[in-house]
Structure formats: structure tokens, C-alpha cells
Structure 1
Amino acid sequence: MSPTHASRPTDASTTAAAAAAPATGRAVPVRRAVVIGGGISGLAAAALLARDGFAVTVLEQRTQLGGRAGTWEQDGFRFDTGPSWYLMPEVFDHFFQLLGTSADEQLDLDVLDPGYRVYTEGHDEPIDLRSSREANIALFESIEPGAGAKMAKYLDSAADTYDMAVRRFLYGTFQDLTKLAAPDVLKRMGKLARLLLQPLSSFASTAVKDHRLWQILGYPAVFLGTSPYQAPSMYHLMSHLDLADGVLYPKGGITQVIAAVERVAEAEGAVITTGATVTRIVVEDGHATGVAYRDEAGDEHVVAADLVVSAADLRHTEMELLEQEHRTHDAAHWAKRDPGPSAVLVYLGVDGPVPGLLHHTLVFTEDWKENFGAIFGKDRHVPDPASIYVCAPSLTDDSVAPEGQSNLFVLVPLPADVSIGKGGIDGAGDAQVEAIADRAIDVIAERSGVPDLRDRIRVRRTIGPQDFADDLNAWSGSMLGPAHTLAQSAFFREKNASTKVDGLYYVGASTIPGIGLPMCLISAEVLIKRIHGDTSTEPLPTPLPRSVGAPPVRTTG
């Protein structure tokens, strides 16, 4: 990626929104927007704002775009540093369609079949989940006679709940809650009440009794930054995504998704500046008028703006970039919220194959009460043993590792606790982080039948909770963002606009609709709705019209 460094005009005449039609021949003032953060939500917001007529500047503190969804290379191995699942493909496609293109045009997508593999402690044989609803219903029936019919109903409910979430919850701003009183919502009010009050763990047990199958239905809570014991069963909709929709893989990895969103943002006229550490949001008379940042040389700059969008961690934005009187939430508010889990991440370049793994492999402990209690309970500590996730993209994509070698990404969920420490290269991380990584490697070695796995490692890097805090300004070193508990979901989640500062908006995992790459893309669309006062709940029609009042302006310097 090669971000463009540019400067924007700062003349006050550009601050007014355009009112004259182009046919008048008069100069059209351009509204200016500054986006803080070059992760997927910041880039997506920049693309849609530029399409909407804003002159957009993106300020990213690191030299690489993508935020959590970054990339790292060493000795011919190329690793996605964060997200690795491509779910909700229609969300990606809809975003690209808003900009006049499509996911098929921007990405090379493969269907994974099997979609993923699950090992459970105490069982030698794994369960391989397939790419279609019918195959997975048959799989469940083969393991637990009678479960097939129950799973058909469970997945019907998951699909219905997911469709309703897309129509009524995910793409709305929640500015007008009466919009939620639509006939399809009212018709399901009894069901919704039950789904909100019953935890996912117990709801999943109505479909299956086999412990391994129950875990397969409960684990998607981790995608939501929470536990199946705490996630509302509304989120059983997640099973529609992996068991019915299937799992895709973009060739080259998730970094290609980031590159595609960057590409469309720049095509719309957004200008991206890296190495720009934002130090404060400028507020004058209650309105956001710019963003101050420090460049790599240490020089201070201010970019004037009519609108500021922060794609950074919301707690960091409010507590570090705004003066106290301009904060919507104070420290006491954040003390009552749940930052979600952290993790130790391990990137391994390994000589030879690692049999026993698929592209996505999950290794579950038997005692989930203990495992999830350690991460999300009152007495939070590093679980041991821990459930782990392993991604082996070199099984699918020969561009991510040298020929004959394996690329492994390992994730060990942990409490959000920066005292666990930092990672490092070749074992140079803090002792607790490296010990957690060693234990995970030993589990992989046992499950994959490679007892000499440690000896075959040629590249090793670890990431710990402190790295998330230092590199991404993540609250308490959170890996994903605030957990999707009932009190932090839908209209209970932090809103996408400041209540104290006009012209200050938010996108990304901290705000509505929530965490994960698809949700972050949706948050950019919800931003556009918020700016226009659009209280509809459905996705916007495609393509998004270009503003005729304030066309995109691209400047270089």
C-alpha cells in the first residue's frame, strides 16, 4: 500500500455546505472532513464521505493501514495480524456496491469446504464443519441422532433473526426508536424478549445435547467479544453465518480487503496520511473545527475541518483527545463497561506441513465454565488450559509462505489486562506472553501429530495485551472492542455522535453496530445516515449517489 500524503485548503470560505447547483457556474465550496484512524472503519468512512461530497483527510498514526487488520512479513512468510475470518459476505459486497463496484471485482474469494475444524478436549477425532446448511444438518444428525431436525429449526430461527437484524438493527442510527416498532419486529416481540433475556449457552442446549455440538453453537460469542454464558441468545444468528452461509477466504488474506477499501477510498478522492499521531480534537464554541497531529519528525500540524470522525478506540478518543468538558462519557462511565477480551497472538513460520489442521481450526477445552470464567468472570486470570484458535492460510494460499512451509496464526483469548505484557520476535516478549505462546504451540503439536513442531519453527512473533494498548490505543489492551453483552448491544451501545460536540462522530468497533470487520463497514454507512438525519433501518440503496453540491476534490502536496 502506498498512502498519499497531502494537505487540504484551510480557507474559511470552504466551511459552508454547497447550496448552488452546478448549472449556475458559481464556485462550489467544499465541506472538509477529517477521519482519525486508518483501520477498515476509518477507510470505509473516508470513502463514503468523499462520495458524499466531502474533501476527506485520513490521519493514521502508524505507517501501515488496517488497524487490527494489519500485515507482517518476515523471511517469505506473510501474516494477517488480526482478523482472519471472512463472514457476512453480503455486507462487504453491499459496501463496495455503494461505491459502484463489487466484492467480486475487488477481491478473489474462495469458499472453504470444510469451513473449519473443531477439536474438543477428551475427544481424539475432530469435527469438520461444512460449507452448506444441508451438509451441516446431516453432520449434526450423524453425531447425535435426532439433532438434525432440531438444527433445521435452530438454523431457521438463526436466519430469521439475522434477516431481521439486518433490516432493523445493524444499519440504523437508533435516533428514532419508533422505527423499531415495525410490523416484522412487533410480530416477533415475544421471541425477541426471550432471545434477549436467555443466554446463548442455554438456548443452544435446546437444539443439541452433545457437548461438542453445543460448543460449536456457543463459540461464536467469542466473535462478539463475550462468553456464551453472557451473550444474549439473540446472537444465535451467528450460526447462520458459519453453518449456513459458509466461510470464504480472500486470496492474499484479510490485508487484501483493507487494500481494496483503501483503493476505493482513494478513488473517491480521500487523502491518506500515515505517521500522523493525533494529539487532540480542536473544539471551538462547541463545534469540532479540526484535528491536531504530530508527524514522524515530531512537528505539530492542525487540519481544519467542518466534520471530524474518530475511528479510534472511543474511550481513547474521549479521554485522551478531548478536554473534560467536551466528553460525552467520563471515567466513571467507562469503569462500568466491559472492554471485551484480549489475547496473545502468535505468528509462526514452520518448516514443512502441519497435518491435523485446516485453514481454520478451533481447539476447545472441556470445561468451558472455567475457561470463560477466567476470561470474563469476576476473578479474571489467564486460563490454563486455554481454548485456542489456529489459522493455517498456507493450506489455501501459496502466497503466504515459502514453498513447502506453513504459515500459522494462533490466538489465545485472555482477559483484557495489560499487566500480562508485550510480545516480541523470536521469544523476546515478556515472560508470561511467551509462556502462553509455548503452551499453545504444544497443544497444536499434540493435535496435529507433529511432536517436533517447536524445532521446526523458523519465524516466531508474539503480540500481547500491552501491544494492543500501545499500538492501537485499545482500552485495557482489548483485542476486539467492547463486549456484546446485553447492556452493550444495539441501542445500548455507545452512539456514533458526540452529545457534547457538534460535528464530532464515531465509527468502528466501539460504537454501533459493533465489533468485527462487517460491523465496522456498516458503521461507516450508519455514519452517513446520521449526518443526513436518515433514521431508516435498512441498508442504503446502491450505488450511493455522488453529491452534486460538493464534488470530491483531490489535492496533493
Structure 2
Amino acid sequence: MTAPRPRAVVIGAGVAGLATSALLAREGYDVEVVEQQHHVGGRAATWRRDGFTFDLGPSWYLMPEVFDHFFRLCGTSADDELDLVRLDPAYRVLFEPRDDEDRAPAVDVRTGAAHEAFETLEPGSGARLEAYLDSSRETYDLALRHFLYTTFASPRGLLGRDVARRAPRLARLLGTSLERFVASRFADERARQVLGYPAVFLGTSPDRAPALYHLMSHADLEAGVLYPRGGFGAVVDALLRVATRAGVKVRTGTRVTAVATVPERGRGGVRARVVGVDLADGERLTADVVVGAGDLHDLETRILPPELATYPERWWDARDPGFGAVLVHLGVRGRLPSLAHHTLAFTRDWRTNFDAIFGADRHVPDPASFYVCAPSRTDRGVAPDDHETLFLLVPVPADPTIGAGGIDGSGDPAVEAAADAAIATFADWAHVPDLASRVVVRRTIGPADFARDLSSWRGGALGPAHTLRQSAFFRGRNASRRVAGLLYAGGTTVPGIGLPMCLISAELAVKRLRGDTSAGPLPVPALLREVAA
């Protein structure tokens, strides 16, 4: 008689939840995913209206080797599942005009040729950029081999000869801010902004991020920026496909109210083990393993009793939630040939900008730096003919009291004011003076929406900031210390923020179940390597 398959419940159908469910199913688990929203995708969900397709969150496809590895674990490949386009330029940067400038200067950053942009900003800086990127590449490779694919359940991966040989350098990178590291190499403030901005992808500012994260410059300046045709909803669709092919069941519109446990004494302070999850409608789903792939704060403080929490509320009181965001989705009449796919817009005094977000007196920055994505410049399928799809992101404090967004200007005043300011600034700097009058679809999202729809701690847009105290083994771990069988995945646990990190977190959940304390990626079985090839 065949033994029943072990059961797993995954809470959350975002990127991490779908990826984790696919890998658990391939491990032999009977897997069900429960999602509180009525659609899958989480932060990477899609919104459509009047022929426009809007990505609700992630819009940069970086670290393609992580995606490739994940899909090979699932018996397929990124090339088979996605139609990827390499962007050229990788992105454009607009700088607030100086007093002697009538127009906002623009610089295009091209993969493999970033020195050209830097020579424009700071003549003679090309050689220094090459040295900077050599360091970035080395640190990036080291992180992939030793830090990103480990659960930190064992120090073995941190004690190898490779890490020991680089320990003094790593200590310097961890003890220096990214801002200071860049400033010691480049004099022009605009060049410093280009190299410091990756800190924002990590939920923080250049003066708060360790210099170790200069590794991010390898990802965009050397490895390149890709785009999945159809938008990032295509990535979510691919994850859903590989999960359902493996037998995963996905249930949306279903809220988990508690992790069901029974008492159990074990090593390391374990006090209980999971037996399932309780749903808002009174149903209990039984499970041998539960993976919380939503917000770690919500999972630890809402669905677990205090005595079973590894990270109780007092732990969070001393933590940094990262930044919040005002998102603006615009459907625009007419083409905008002056736009690039990705545009970063920087104010001159961005220290004041970041202090407004992270300092003692937190408020919506004015003026604010922001980011603009125009996917219709690459993909005509995301907008009607002779129209453009735009997505603006304005970093603001992680504070739900800033408010929620809405359709056609119906959001809370602070959210709509931040959106109006960003639209007006972008129209000026990008030389599209009639931009506001050409908007035919408008939707805003604010920190209160992140808190309500994604159960995001303090309305944060990405997850806990990658400061030194919240990176690597200082970040929330991916297994409960109090409840056996309770694991975590997603941007709020190791290894951190971003779609590639969410995919890696799915592998880390599998490693926990296997008792695998290695530092590298899961090996792809030979049969799967042949199929993926």
C-alpha cells in the first residue's frame, strides 16, 4: 500500500509562494497555495484597463541566471517560458537642471558601455568605472557562491577558504556605506547618483546600505537589463504554469487566520509543530509543512500566538521597514518617442530627499526623485495603438497614514498630490509639456494599499531595508524557531528583496526540508538538465 504524500500549504501566491509550491511539488508534496487576494502575483500582479496592461510592482528583470536556474529545477527553461528582450539603453537618467541649465540633462546607460555615460558626466572617470565594475563583479560572484543560496543554518558556507581569503575586504565593504564607497571614487554628484541608486532597489538609501551592495552595479551595467514581453505578469504566468504542471492547487480569495499547531518539545526552543492552517471561513487545511510566503511581520504577529513567535512585535520595533511608495499607472494618448523603457529621475539634493523618507521628520519628499517605466516603448502589446503605458514610482516613507490611491484622482490627497507632482516634473524634464492632458487612464496606489492588500509591514513597498543589521544572517531567517514545520519565503526573509531573491527563497525552503546546509544553488538532477537542454 502506497503511503500518502506529505501535505504542504503555502500562504501567499506571489512570486515566492508560486515558486516554493512548484519546488515542493517536485519534492513529492501534495501542495495547496492559499492567497487572500482574488488574483495571483502579489506585488508582481497585473492590472488591465481599456487595453492597457500595467505591472503593479516589479519591472526590472535582473540576474537572469537565477531565473534560468529556477526554471531548470522545474524541468524547463527561462527561454521556453518567457520571451525575453534585452533593453538598449538599459535605462536613461534624467537629472534636475542646475542653475545654469535650461533643460534637464539626460544620460543613456548602455550595458557593457557604461563608461561612455560616465565620461559624459565626469571626464576621465572611465578607468575608475572599470575598476569599480571589476570589484562589483567579484563581489557579485562571491555572493552567488556563498551568501545568497544559504539558509545560514550552518556557518560552513561562511568558513571556506574562498571567503576567508577575502575576509578583510568583505569587512571593509560591510563597514563602509555605499555612499562613501562611491564618493571615494567619483567626484561628480550625478555619477555618484547612478552608482548609489541601486540601494533603492534594496529598500534603503546609499548612506544606509553597506558598500557590499555595489555588487548590484554588475547586474545592470554589465550583465544587462532584460524585459519579459507581455510584462511581469508573464513571469507570474510562467510560475503558475510550472506549479500547476507539478500538481499544485491554488486557491484565491482565501485568508488564513491562524497556523494550526499541536504542542511538541524539541531542540532549539521548539514548542509546537504545524498541523495545518485555519481559514477565515472556518475550514482547516491539514498540512505537514506550512510555508509563509507573505509578509513576515504579518505572519509572525497575526497568525501565530505570541508564545510561538520567533519574531514578536518587540523585535520589529528596532527594525527598518524600508520605504513606502506612491505608484502611478497612466494610460497616455499618443506616442512618446522621447521616452526610454526605464528612466530614473534624480533631484539635485537627494540627501534631503532620502532624509524625508528615512530621517526623523518623515514626510513625502518635495521635490522627489522617482522612477518611470514605459514598457510600451518595447512591447506594443501592453497599450492600444498610438498610446503609451507608463508606470511611475515615487519613494515615500513607509507610513499607511499617507493614504491609499484610487482611480482617476480619487485617492487620498497626499497620494494624489505626490502623483501630480511626479507627473508634472516628468513632463517638464522629459519635454512632454502636455503629458497630463493626454492621460486617459490613471490609477494610484499608496502605502495604505500595500498594508491592506499585501499585509505589508507599515505599508512598505518592497520589504525590510537591506541595512547592515537586516542583511544576510542578520535578516529574518526562513524557519520558525518555535514551530517545527513552519518555514518562510519571500522578500521579507533571507536572502532579501527582489524577484531573483524570491526565487532563491523558494530553494531555501526546500533546503530546510532536506537539511541541506550547503552554500550553493540546489543541483539540477541529470534528467532535468537533459529536458531543459
Residue in structure 1 matched with residue 267 of structure 2 by the alignment: none
Match of 2:201 among 181, 200, 223: 223
1:113 aligns with 2:88: yes
Task: Show the counterpart of 2:333.
Answer: 351
Contact 1:37 1:312 in 2 (8 A): yes
Q: Name the residue aligned to 2:423.
A: 441
Mapped to 2, the partners of 1:512 and 1:72 lie a distance apart of 28
Among 34, 44, 47, the alignment partner of 1:69 is 44
Asked if 1:101 corresponds to 2:76, the answer is yes
Structure-2 separation of matches of 1:511 and 1:449: 41
Segments of structure 1 that go 5 or more residues without pairing to the other structure are: 1-25, 547-557
Gaps of 5+ in 2: 99-103, 264-271, 529-533
Does residue 195 (structure 1) correspond to residue 173 (structure 2)? The answer is yes
Q: Indicate if the aligned counterparts of 2:121 and 2:190 stay in contact, CA closer than 8 A.
A: no
Superposed CA deviations along residues 461-484 of structure 1, whole A, max 9, x for unmatched, are 000000000000000000000000
In structure 1, give the amino acid aligned to 2:20: A
Say if 1:341 and 1:480, in contact at 8 Å, map to a contact too.
yes
Letter in 2 for 1:540: L
* Match runs of 1:107-506 below 5 Å: 107-122=82-97, 124-132=104-112, 135-285=113-263, 286-294=272-280, 299-506=281-488
When the two structures are aligned, how many residues end up with a matched partner? 515
TM-score by length of 2: 0.95
1:412-432 deviations in Å (ceiling 9; x for gaps): 000100000010001110011
Contact 1:349–1:408 (8 Å) recurs in 2: yes
C-alpha distance in structure 2 between counterparts of 1:316 and 1:144, whole Å: 46
What secondary structure sits across from 1:68 in the alignment? helix
**Runs of 4+ off more than 3 Å:** 543-546
Residue 256 of structure 2 aligns to a residue whose secondary structure is: strand
Instruction: Write out per-residue CA displacement over residues 351-382 of structure 1, whole angstroms, 9 at most, x where no aligned residue.
Output: 01234321000110101110111111222111
Shift of 1:455: 1.1
Residue aligned with 2:382, SS: coil
Q: Secondary structure at the match of 1:289?
A: strand
Instruction: Give the aligned residue type for 1:357.
Output: L
Distance 1:318 1:125 in 2: 47
Residue 104 of structure 1: CA displacement?
0.3
State the match for 1:9 in structure 2. none
Give the Cα–Cα distance (whole angstroms) in 2 for the partners of residues 330 and 113 of structure 1: 46
| Aligned residue number for residue 41 of structure 1 | 16
Q: Could you list the per-position Cα deviations for residues 240-265 of structure 1 after superposition, in whole angstroms to 9, with x for gaps in the alignment?
A: 00100110000000110011011001
Contact 2:96/2:105 (CA < 8 Å) preserved in 1?
A: no
Matched residues in 1 for 2:364 and 2:489: separation?
31
Is 1:88 the counterpart of 2:63? The answer is yes
The within-5 A match list for 1:516-527 is 516-527=498-509
Q: TM-score, normalised by structure 1?
A: 0.91
Task: Please state how far the C-alpha of 1:219 moved relative to its aligned partner.
Answer: 0.1
Q: Is the 8 A contact 2:256 2:279 kept in 1?
A: yes
CA RMSD of aligned residues (A): 1.2
Cα deviation per residue 1:468-502 (whole Å; 9 max; x = unaligned)? 00000000000000000000000000000001101
CA distance in 1, matches of 2:526, 2:444: 41
Query: Partners of 2:360 and 2:199 in 1: how far apart?
Result: 18
Give the residue type in structure 2 aligned to 1:241.
A
Q: For residue 28 of structure 1, give the secondary structure of its aligned residue in structure 2.
A: coil
- 3-state SS of 1:113 partner: coil
1:541 positional shift: 1.2
Give distance in 2, aligned partners of 1:137 and 1:279: 53
The alpha carbon displacement at 1:142 in A equals: 4.1
Give how far 1:100 is off.
1.2
Aligned partner letter, 2:376: S
Matching residue's letter, 2:85: D
Q: In structure 2, what residue type is equivalent to 1:89?
A: P
The alignment partner of 2:141 has SS state of: helix
Measure, in 2, the Cα distance between the counterparts of 1:358 and 1:459: 20
- Deviation (angstroms), 1:544: 8.3
